[in-house]
Amino acid sequence: MTTTNNATVVSADNGVNVSALLDAREALAKAPEAAQFKWRASCEWLNGTHSRSEIGNFFGLGAEQSRNKTFAVEADHPQIFAAEDHAPTPVELVLSGLASCLTAGVAAVAQRRGIQLHSVKATLEADMDVLGILGMDDEVRNGFGAIRVHFDIRADASADDIKALVAQSQKRSAVFDVVTNPTNVFVTVN
Amino acid sequence: MKFATAIIIGAGQSGLAMSRHLTARSIDHVVFERGEVANSWLTERWDSLRLLTPNWQTRLPNHAYAGDDPHGFMTMAEVAGFLQRYARLSQAPIMSGTRVIRATQQDQGYEVLTTRGVWRCRKLVIASGACNIASIPSHSAGLPAKITSLTPLQYRNPGLLPDGGAMIVGASASGIQLARELQAAGRRVLLSVGDHVRMPRTYRGRDILWWMDAIGAMNMRYDAIDDIQRARHLPSLQLVGTPDHVTVDLNSLRKASVELVGRLVGLRDGKAQFSGSLANFCALADLKMNRLLASIDDWVTASGLDQHVPAPERFEPTMLEPETKLSLDLVSAGIGTVIWATGFRPDYSWLDVPVLDRKGRIRHDGGIVAAPGMYVMGLPFMRQRKSSFIDGAGDDAADLAAHLSQNLANAA
């Protein structure tokens, strides 16, 4: 039962180009096939549990999209897992992905709603019973039992409006969807 | 072949209101009705259902509720009686038992093939309803064969269900009502909850729809809305019409031992999989309800009525169990029935005119369809928020009849 007052959108600047995003929405409404994206990563084993992923090109808007650079993300495990702790564990990278996705969403929704942000900090914690990954208890899943996200946000808005930013960000978050809903995973070899 | 200047398909509130306006403008027309007047209300609703809108709000052009319970809610038989009286009073030119098989575009109009002959018209008004077909998610195909699958169009009462518990998918008006009814009948009930619109039945001493009407929300026009596509696809309000005006929300259902789970996102190997997004959907619905209540409070203050109505209140936030299920083996949990309360859509299978978008929805601007001389009625937020309510049919029929008439005059 609310309407967005477009006039207020101009005054807030969170560094998000909302009008470009709205233009994209309009363009994709006319050409929905261009909305089909493919995201990619490759990963090479280094040593022990240490690996390095490379992230570069992706497909979208009907064409291969090349970047000027390739990003590298390393992962390892901590010493208490008898590893060398060169980098975060993959599950910590998942938390980071969720946090980044929700935080980006908060900024975008705030911009759209004309809310000036001053600071946004997400703190995440996930429960895991490692009896699962160690193969010691069939009834324990490998993944997280639960994820808790806490947002600390300072913004020119009421407490409820800030809560609504965080709620809307979850509603439109890709990583939130990936972690809360099942996905078919197809793995092939050689 | 017979001819009418205008053909209206469907003799429900929309078709009857349009017929009334065309008659007033002396435009000859005929109303095709596949069954009897108010057919969907009579044959496609469960036994206990009552209108979600109060009696005083059940009004059509030159016809309104005149009984002694203006704040009550009509049963389906009463709705049908109301519409049948309206059809008689209006002397609407209805051909009942006339199903439309196909409509095609012809020079200057349309050809309509029915079970009772072929007709031609210049103007075609589709008033056959927004809820002809229950939308069922594709993963329903994974439902174990021994579990009965029903839609709200098929459900009648708890006694007709197979033994065992029920999983109700969807927590809008239909889903919450069926969950309440089946739980009260002693069934185990699991309610799968996605996006929903939480709404108290009464607020500050009045029905919530009285407030929405008063503050102008029901009359909000489609071209005054920031994102009309989104507004048109919002879930229905979580409301029930009962003689005691109860509010049914997720809290009351949980207290009645209905088990709440997240959106159903998969069915495989007999297991239902639920999303972990339940808490957020509840948070969104609570925030949205509070925004509506705040806008009502603002309106009361601006209207100087604070002394005349009870003080503002806020309702308990939706409370969930600390851990909700993410999956359930339906057969071993004793679930005998799944009811898909996952929304409805119109049936355009007979419409052989290229006016549907890639999702099968009719392309229209406030009911003026993207084909010459074609109109549609009764869709959610079609011209106003109340377009899909009985109370919305009158305004929409007036506007569209004016457009239709102007259009005829221009062609003449």
pLDDT tens digits along B292-335:
999 999 999 999 999 999 999 999 999 999 889 999 999 999 99
Q: Which among A3, A164, A176 has CB closest to B287?
A: A164
- Separation in Å, CA of B362 to nearest CA in chain A: 15
For residue range B112-140, list pLDDT tens digits in order.
Answer: 999 999 999 999 999 999 999 999 999 89
Residue B16: what residue type? Answer: L
pTM recorded for the entire structure: 0.92
Please report the residues numbered 111 through 170 in chain A whose beta carbons come closer than 8 angstroms to any beta carbon of chain B. Answer: 146, 160, 163-164, 167-168, 170
Residue B323: what pLDDT? 84
A36: chain B residues, CB-CB within 8 Å: none
B window 25-64, beta carbon within 8 A of A: none
A2/chain B closest Cα distance in angstroms = 7
User: Is the confidence at residue A44, as pLDDT, over 60?
Assistant: yes
* pLDDT surpasses 60 at A2: no
Residue for token pair 């016809």: B63
State the smallest CA–CA distance between residue B312 and chain A in angstroms.
17
Identify the band that residue A10 occupies on the pLDDT scale cut at 50, 70 and 90.
Answer: low
pLDDT greater than 70 at residue A4: no
Nearest-angstrom CA–CA distance, B278 and B262: 5
Per-residue pLDDT at B400 exceeds 90:
yes
Task: Please state, in angstroms and rounded to a whole number, the distance separating the CA atoms of residues A61 and A36.
Answer: 7
Does the beta-carbon distance from A182 to B273 stay under 8 Å?
A: yes
pLDDT tens-digit map of B331-353: 999 999 999 999 999 999 999 99
Distance from C-alpha of A143 to C-alpha of A133, rounded to nearest angstrom: 8
Candidate from A160, A164, A180 with C-beta closest to B277: A180
Q: What is the pLDDT of residues B195-212, one digit of tens each?
A: 999 999 999 999 999 999
Is the pLDDT at A5 greater than 60? The verdict is: no
pLDDT band at B226 (very low <50, low <70, confident <90, very high): confident
Confidence of residue A6 (pLDDT cuts 50, 70, 90): very low
The pLDDT score that the predictor gives to residue A3 is 42
Window 237-276 of B, Cβ < 8 Å to A: 262, 265-266, 273, 275-276
B192 touches chain A (CB under 8 A): no
pLDDT for the residue B322: 85
SS3 content of chain A, % helix, strand, coil (to 5): 35, 25, 40
Q: Give percent of chain B with pLDDT exceeding 90.
A: 95
pLDDT grade for B192, boundaries at 50, 70 and 90: very high
Instruction: Say if the Cβ atoms of B287 and A179 lie within 8 Å.
Output: no
Q: Do A167 and B292 touch (CB under 8 A)?
A: no
pLDDT single digits (tens) B99-110: 999 999 998 899
Question: Closest partner residue to B265 among A2, A176, A182, by Cβ?
Answer: A182
Exposed, middle or buried by CB within 10 Å (0-12, 13-18, 19+), for A148? exposed
Contacts of B195 in chain A (CB under 8 A): 171
**Closest approach of chain B CAs to the CA of A181, in angstroms?**
5
Q: Encode burial over A79-102: b for 16+ CB neighbours within 10 A, e otherwise.
A: eeeebeebbbbebeebbeebbebb
Model ipTM?
0.85
Say yes or no for a CB contact (<8 Å) between B275 and A180.
yes
Alpha-carbon distance A84 to nearest alpha carbon in chain B (angstroms) = 34
